[in-house]
A = this chain, B = another copy of it.
Amino acid sequence: MARAATTTDAFNAVAEPRRRRILDLLVAGERSVNDLVTLLGLAQPQVSKHLRVLREVGLVDVRDEGRQRMYRLNGRQLKPIHDWVRNYEQSWNERFEALDRVLDELQERKDDDHGNGK
């Protein structure tokens, strides 16, 4: 097997930074493809392709507006990511970092023992 498709889920879709930038722009409101092309400074086909991925995982919705297509955010699909990463929120807090330091110190002490011949 190879790497999972980008359209597998939000985790994979959002791993690509340009797609995150697109979502960041859409958070402010609807945008046409051309708007996004200009704002992102990317080629139009690539923007369309990124939007397709985002559509396929349900991160954006489309609306036809004349000859334009208005894209808008659908944040619900980001909730699984939020829920998952939330469980680690405490792990970058001071208390946990202190534990890390203790473990590091123990490790160093053991290394020293080896050097000193125990």
Question: A residues touching B (Cβ–Cβ < 8 Å)?
Answer: 3-4, 6, 11-12, 14-17, 20, 23-24, 27, 61, 63-64, 72-76, 78-79, 81-82, 84-92, 96-97, 100, 103, 107
Contact between A27 and B88, CB atoms less than 8 A apart: yes
Question: Which DSSP category, helix, strand, loop or mixed, fits chain A's interface?
Answer: helix
Residues of B within 8 A of A92 (CB): 75-76, 78-79
CB A63 to nearest CB in B, in angstroms, measures: 5
Number of copies: 2
CA distance A97 to B103 in the complex (A): 46
- Which among B72, B81, B91 is the interface contact of A73 at CB below 8 angstroms? B91
Known contacts A4-B15, A72-B103, A74-B100, A85 near B85 by CB under 8 Å: yes
